[in-house]
Amino acid sequence: MFQDRADAARRLAARLQACQGQNPLVLAIPRGAVPMGRVIAQQLGGELDVVLARKLHAPFLPEVAVGAVDESGWTYVSPHAGRLGADSDYLAQETRTQLQALRARRTLYTPIRAPIDPAGRTVIVVDDGLATGATMVAALHGLRARHPARLVCAVSVASPEALALVRPLADEVVCLEAPPDFEAVGQFYRDFAQVEDDEVIRLLKD
């Protein structure tokens, strides 16, 4: 159990000490992971930015992911998507919807600069937890195509299934907890308050 995201970030930073001195690029998945990324970047002497990916929502079950899309439009579709009613037409429309949301979020978060280039760098991708792992899959896939020297996935908690899904996509996976009774990310935080866009923008400006 974590007190809050700051507590989880400090624990992750302690596990990532081997990256200190390498000027790592810490890429947080908005919105919840951005405050965590800030703490990790500070403790490791790195830079903070965001990596944007969006889950594809199941029909009539918006809290359930049937896949994810990155900024390039590449999509990951979960094996269970069809069982939840997400056919090819639905997935195409949902992908278009989430791509529009990604473009709007990029304009909002980094309006006057391009994303920091990960090429040749140690890159740490941070999230506050993985349920299905779909969003992290899309994030790692997109980043691998941009040729980082080393790609690290860092999460505080994950379902065992999500952890197995993302492990082949990173050079290293750091996960503090992978409980077999995983139901939702929020159950492992005493304080899991929603992070708003204003806070993300402030942290990126700082």
164-175, pLDDT tens digit by residue?
Answer: 999 999 999 999
**Is the pLDDT reported for residue 113 higher than 90?**
no
Pair of tokens at residue 153 = 């996935």
Percent of the chain predicted with pLDDT > 70: 100
pLDDT by residue (tens digit) across 176-205? 999 999 999 999 999 999 999 999 999 998
Of the candidates 155, 140, 146, the residue with the CA atom closest to the CA atom of residue 121: 146
pLDDT of residue 62: 87
Q: Which backbone phi and psi does 139 adopt, to 5 degrees?
A: -65, -45
pLDDT of residue 10: 98
pLDDT by residue (tens digit) across 72-101? 999 999 999 999 999 999 999 999 999 999
pLDDT of residue 80: 92
**Is the pLDDT reported for residue 29 higher than 90?**
yes
**Is the pLDDT reported for residue 206 higher than 90?**
no
pLDDT of residue 112: 78
CA of 32: how far to CAs of 23, 92, 173, in Å? 23, 27, 19
Q: How confident is the model at residue 114 (pLDDT cuts 50, 70, 90)?
A: confident
Once rounded to an integer, what is the mean pLDDT over residues 4-8?
97
pLDDT of residue 167: 97
- In this structure, the dihedral spanned by the alpha carbons of residues 188, 192, 196 and 202, taken in order and rounded to 10 degrees, is -90
**Is the pLDDT reported for residue 106 higher than 90?**
yes
Global pTM value: 0.94
